[in-house]
Amino acid sequence: MDELLGWCVVANVTAVDLEHLSPGTKLWVLPPQWGDDGRDLVVVGRHRGSPGPVSQMVVPRVHLTNFRVRGIHEPLVHRHLTRQRERRALRQWESREEAEKVVEWWARDAAIYEGVNRPLRRVDFYHRLAEVLPGNVLQQWAVQDVMNPKLSLDLGEVFRDQQEVDAVRELRELLDTIATAGVANRADNELWPVVRAVARKIQDLLIR
C-alpha cells in the first residue's frame, strides 16, 4: 500500500450544474479557512471534462454532498492540498478524528440543504431555532429572523412542504402571543416550553 500522507474529507458535487465541475465529481476538501463556518471550501479535484491532473479551487459547501473521511495516498493530491493560496499556507486536517467530527456537521447541513431554492437561508433558519429561547445571547436576533416578514413561505424556496410551513406559522403565533403579553412578563411567560417544543419539531422537519 502507498504511504499514508494524511487524512482528508472527500465529497461529491451535487446534481447542480457548476461551471467548472460536473455533477458527481469527487473532491478532496480542506477544513474551513476563513472563519465563515465553511460556507466556501478549498477543494482539490478535476475540472469538468479534463483528463489531466487535479487542481485547487474554491467551491460553496452547499453544492457538495456525500461527505466522508479518506486517507491521502496520492502525492499529486497531497501537493495540491498543501499548496499555498494567496501566499498563505492552508490549514490542513489535524487528525482523522477532527475530520470525522466535522463530517457529521456537514452531513447534517447537507440533509437540511436538499430540495430548496434558498438552501443557505434554510440552514440559517435551522440554527436560529436553537436561539429563540430566553437566556440565549442571540435571542433577540433569532426571534427577529423567525418573525421576519421577508422570509418566504412559498413551497420550494426555504421550506419543502406544507407541514414545515404550518409549523413555522405555529411558532410565529406563539412568539407573537408572548410579545403581546409585554416585556415585563416575557422571560417568565408560560408559553416558552411550548416554543421550545415547536422549535425542536421544526428542526426535526428541516433535517428529514
Q: What is the 3-state secondary structure (H, E, C) of 123-134?
A: HHHHHHHHHCCC
> CA 5 → CA 8, 33, 101, 135, 161, distances in Å?
10, 20, 20, 46, 45
Q: Average pLDDT, stretch 187-203?
A: 93
pLDDT, position 27: 95
How do residues 65-118 score in pLDDT, each as one tens digit? 999 999 999 999 999 999 998 888 999 999 999 999 999 999 999 999 888 999
pLDDT tens digit string along 15-31?
A: 776 778 888 899 999 99
Q: How long is the chain? A: 208
Give the model's confidence band at 129: pLDDT under 50 very low, under 70 low, under 90 confident, else very high.
very high
The mean pLDDT value of the chain amounts to: 91
pLDDT digits (tens, 9 = 90+) for 56-72: 999 999 999 999 999 99
Cell of 18: 457548476
Question: Could you give phi then psi for residue 168, rounded to 5 degrees?
Answer: -65, -40
